[in-house]
Amino acid sequence: ETGVTQSPTHLIKTRGQQVTLRCSSQSGHNTVSWYQQALGQGPQFIFQYYREEENGRGNFPPRFSGLQFPNYSSELNVNALELDDSALYLCASSLNVGYHYGYTFGSGTRLTVV
């Protein structure tokens, strides 16, 4: 059984550009959440997708958007990149939105905006 995989592992972008990060959820998991983790801080919730629909959103502007596909993989898109978007972006999947055993996290994508 594979875990959560994210790609790419590292990325450097220029301010103002757009970026797409990808996540393959653990087999059988239909719920995917995205988190942003700035250096030295805990992860911050961006949004969650359940069966291809957004199912909750944190305090992030609309230039952060996402998709979930029929196979439950997911993308995080960030437009008009700002320097403060530099962070580790984590994807987490869960067997179901209400599954109380929690989430399985990927190793993240390290985004650097210059």
Partner 1 sequence: DAKTTQPPSMDCAEGRAANLPCNHSTISGNEYVYWYRQIHSQGPQYIIHGLKNNETNEMASLIITEDRKSSTLILPHATLRDTAVYYCIVREDGQNFVFGPGTRLSVLP
Q: Residues in the site for partner 1, rule: CB under 8 A?
A: 4, 33, 35, 41-45, 48, 56, 58, 88, 90, 92, 97-108, 110
Minimum CB distance to partner 1 smaller for 14 or for 100: 100
Cross-strand pairs, 57: 47
Minimum CB distance to partner 1 smaller for 73 or for 105: 105
Minimum CB distance to partner 1 smaller for 10 or for 15: 10
Which residues contact residue 66 at a Cβ distance below 8 angstroms, ignoring those fewer than 6 apart?
34, 46, 47, 49, 54, 74, 75, 76, 77
